[in-house]
Amino acid sequence: MTAHVVCLPRFINHVNTQTQAPAPAAKSPELMKICSVTGQPELCASSVLPYLKGDVNPDNVLKAELEAVKEESTRAMAYIEKTVCLSSLPALEKNTIGSCGELFSSVLDDVKSAQESIDAHQPDDVSNWLSGVQAFIITCNDGFEELKVVQPKELIEFHTKMQKLTENSLDILFGFNKLDDEESDDEESEDEE
């Protein structure tokens, strides 16, 4: 696993690599209902709020959650660039960390494709792109295990959060049908009354 990281200040000065708390905002009942289909509803709601545009509906919430994945990936890439370019780590560690930078760059590409698939109403494609995102995150982690290189704590935190956000995105995607089924059941029971 060899990676070539170009040490240009692309991400270092552009992004704060510290995890930032989302701007406080009200969590609407509609948002909480959509996020309730995820394994981490509170993370879903708090990560979506800064990026939510338009009505609170599953498509917009999913797009906002994917924006959170992009932001976390960009922060991870800034950390990687800074670590690889500005540290005196051994070459094997730098190369392993640098490989994650390449993988996280691919995460950005797949998230963009997933967002385009949401707009095109192609849920199977969204699922495929998000599965790719998960694979890139897992591959980063596996590189450290395979090469028996200690993974920096900060990188573990980035990839753990990216994984949770991606899992939430998949839960929202697959939860569309669950939410639609519940609404249909509610409407049927109202019609019966």
Sign of CA dihedral 166, 169, 173, 175: positive
What stretches in the chain show pLDDT beneath 70?
A: 1-26, 176-193
How many structural domains are present in the chain?
1
DSSP state of 148: T
Tokens of 140: 């980063």
Res 24: pLDDT: 39
Whether residue 1 is contained in a domain is answered as no
Residue 9 lies in a domain: no
152 occurs within a structural domain: yes
63 lies in some domain: yes
Q: What's the CATH code of the domain at 61?
A: 1.20.140.40
What is the gyration radius of the CA atoms in the chain, in angstroms?
19
pTM of whole model > 0.75? yes
Structural domain for 156, as ranges: 29-192
pLDDT of the residue at 152: 93
Return the pLDDT at 27: 78
pLDDT score recorded for residue 87: 80
Of the chain, the percentage scoring pLDDT greater than 70 comes to 77
137-126-43-134 Cα dihedral, nearest 10 degrees:
-10
At 7 the pLDDT is 58
Measure Cα distances from 114 to 101, 123, 186 in Å.
20, 9, 31
Query: Residue 185: inside a domain, yes or no?
Result: yes
Q: Is residue 143 part of a domain?
A: yes
